[in-house]
Structure 1
Amino acid sequence: MKRILALLTICSITTATLAQDGTIKALKADSERTIAKDAADTTQKRWKKGGSAGLNISQGSLSNWAAGGDDFSLAINTVVNLYGFYKNGKHSWDNTLDFNFGYVNTTSLGSRKNDDRIDIVSKYGYALGSKWNISGLFNFRSQLFDGYTYANDTRTFASTILSPAYVLVSPGFDYKPAPSFSFFISPVTSRWTIVLDDTLSSRGDYGVDPGKHSRNEIGAFASANYIKDFNKILSYKGRLDLFSNYKSKAKNVDVFFTNVLNVKLTRILSLTYSLDMIYDDDVRLFGPAKEGARTQLKSVVGAGFLVKF
């Protein structure tokens, strides 16, 4: 009887071992199997999409503070950068959307915005080689809310939605030596300056004739773009646009230069620095007689939340 029980036990163990070995072999074969792609399957990644959204908030309060200062202050800054890049054979389509908004409220100054920009760039390209494309570029740039200048305690209405707005259409050539950098150049570009607000239009602001709501310019255009994640902590996005108006003062080149640098402190906390520089020879709103063009600078530093996706 003992021999029979021993024999049955050995048979059971052997059977289980063989079954387990067969299961392992089957799993191994499945993992090494090559799956043929259906010709009708279009799930390959032709789009590269993503972006980042940041929110910086600071608030301060004073009560019986001998050194002085505003009793209350609140500052909010948002930065949103989105992109969608399409690539299929020789065809490419690059799209970016940038939105910045800043709001400040203090006891002494009241509420005002200190940043407001919406910027859309769409560029189609057809490859002529490994680095050159023949391309067409569209750019729209404006703001969303009313803006004012403040001088000598006087508030002056200066901007609102679509006043001004800049629309640019440009055929040309695009040079892409690396995924992070591109340089677009066009010898013939059409640019419109739009001022829909009647008050700003009647003053002839932003280069439009008084009473007119738009102005067209034909000129040469160049744009350099650089987007780079140096590592998991540091990332940068920059763009430099240059435009020369053939119709008037071609040597006075208009400049639009924008930079955003992100330093990730933790998974959602970051330090953000943005620097914008604009020179537009048609924006002659400066100087004692308000008839001079100046280099416009905007610098914003903030620490807060940043989410990349």
Structure 2
Amino acid sequence: MKKILFMVALLSSLTVLAQDETVKNLKKDSERQINKDPNDTTTKTWKMGGFIGLNAAQGSLSNWAAGGDKFSLALNGNLSTYAFYKKNKHSWDNTLDINLGYMNTTSLGSRKNDDRIDLVSKYGYAIGEKWNAGALFNFRSQMFKGYTYDNDGNRTFSSNFLSPAYVLLSPGLEWKPNKDFSVFLSPATVRWTIVRNDSLSSVGAYGVDTGRHAKTEFGAFASLNYFKEVNKMFSYRSRLDLYANYLEKPKNVDLYWTNMINMKLTKYLTLTYSLDMIYDDDVRLFGANNESPAAQIKSMLGLGFLVKF
């Protein structure tokens, strides 16, 4: 009987000690900080975002000796979105920019001063630390009718949605030395110029043959892209596209260059400056007889709201 009581007491003591040890271990586990293994993480395959901006400027004069328009109003809006995919050696970058501007003055009346749709989609497959092989697709056009104006204020219909539109398909190589800068090069690029409007195609506008609605070109293409977010307050974005048509005047290189600077003043208030330049040898709407190409330059400075998402 004494042996049995001794065994029961011994087992009870061991059980209490085991429970005490379990409680201690549970306490240690609850207080322990868990650090993830850096090799055991799941990265996002998609990164999406963008911003919406609206700039406005208004002015009025009354009995102003220096002269000027009695009333002026300018509104400019822009939407810039992106969707980037990255998994293993595959990448797919997509950007969409839409700009629309309107101005009204006493002397000039109502005019459109900005209208642009620009979609870029680029696929890449990593073949080196800084090199990708892939293809680029670009679509550019506008949304509404556009006009050119002479010195007397007379307007001439010059453009509309899909008149013109530029569609570019370009297989090539991309060099990306860092996250801010990239260069895409292609020696074999197909570009289509579309003029859907009958009145514009009937006069061979934008280089299409008279009466035709599209023109096919084959040439070399280069695209240089730079985006730098210096800090939360200041960012700069630039894109330069160059295209040379092998089949016609290859030395007359078409140029498309866009620049945008954003300076954030408050949470939503932003100072924006944009500078765009286009030279297309087929756009012959300038000169004395409106039959010559020329560098097209657009510069805009605005203060307004900008919301990122």
TM-score (norm 2): 0.86
In the alignment, the residues of structure 1 paired with residue 98 and residue 216 of structure 2 have an alpha-carbon distance, to the nearest angstrom, of 25
Are 2:206 and 2:283, in contact at CA under 8 Å, matched by a contact in 1?
A: yes
Are 2:108 and 2:153, in contact at CA under 8 Å, matched by a contact in 1?
A: no
* 1:257 Cα offset (Å): 0.5
Aligned CA distance change for structure 1 residues 105 and 23 (closer, same or farther; 3 Å): farther
Alignment correspondent of 1:163? 163
* 1:178 Cα offset (Å): 0.7
Q: Structure 1: which amino acid aligns with 2:82?
A: Y
Deviations 1:138-197 (A, max 9, x none): 000000011111102211111110100000000011111111111000010000000001
In the alignment, the residues of structure 2 paired with residue 189 and residue 84 of structure 1 have an alpha-carbon distance, to the nearest angstrom, of 24
Alignment correspondent of 1:127? 126
Using the TM superposition, name which of 164-173 and 77-86 deviates more. 77-86
* 1:266 Cα offset (Å): 1.1
TM-score (norm 1): 0.86
Using the TM superposition, name which of 152-161 and 134-143 deviates more. 152-161
Are 2:77 and 2:100, in contact at CA under 8 Å, matched by a contact in 1?
A: yes
* 1:244 Cα offset (Å): 0.5
Q: Structure 2: which amino acid aligns with 1:139?
A: N
Alignment correspondent of 2:236? 236
Alignment correspondent of 2:294? 294
In the alignment, the residues of structure 2 paired with residue 303 and residue 27 of structure 1 have an alpha-carbon distance, to the nearest angstrom, of 53
In the alignment, the residues of structure 1 paired with residue 126 and residue 28 of structure 2 have an alpha-carbon distance, to the nearest angstrom, of 48
CA-based RMSD: 2.2
In the alignment, the residues of structure 2 paired with residue 206 and residue 272 of structure 1 have an alpha-carbon distance, to the nearest angstrom, of 31
Question: For residues 160-309 of structure 1, what are the structure 2 equivalents within 5 Å?
Answer: 160-309=160-309
- Structure 2 unaligned blocks of 5 or more: 1-23
Larger Cα-atom Rg:
2
Q: Structure 2: which amino acid aligns with 1:93?
A: W
* 1:24 Cα offset (Å): 7.6
Alignment identity in percent? Answer: 63
Structure 1 residue 28 corresponds to structure 2 residue 31 = yes
Q: Structure 1: which amino acid aligns with 2:255?
A: V
- Structure 1 unaligned blocks of 5 or more: 1-20
Q: Structure 2: which amino acid aligns with 1:199?
A: S
Deviations 1:242-273 (A, max 9, x none): 10000000011110011011111111111101
Alignment correspondent of 1:146? 145
Aligned CA distance change for structure 1 residues 73 and 27 (closer, same or farther; 3 Å): farther
Alignment correspondent of 1:46? 45
Aligned CA distance change for structure 1 residues 76 and 22 (closer, same or farther; 3 Å): farther
Aligned CA distance change for structure 1 residues 149 and 305 (closer, same or farther; 3 Å): same
* 1:287 Cα offset (Å): 1.2
Are 2:101 and 2:114, in contact at CA under 8 Å, matched by a contact in 1?
A: yes
Q: Structure 2: which amino acid aligns with 1:135?
A: G
In the alignment, the residues of structure 2 paired with residue 35 and residue 233 of structure 1 have an alpha-carbon distance, to the nearest angstrom, of 33
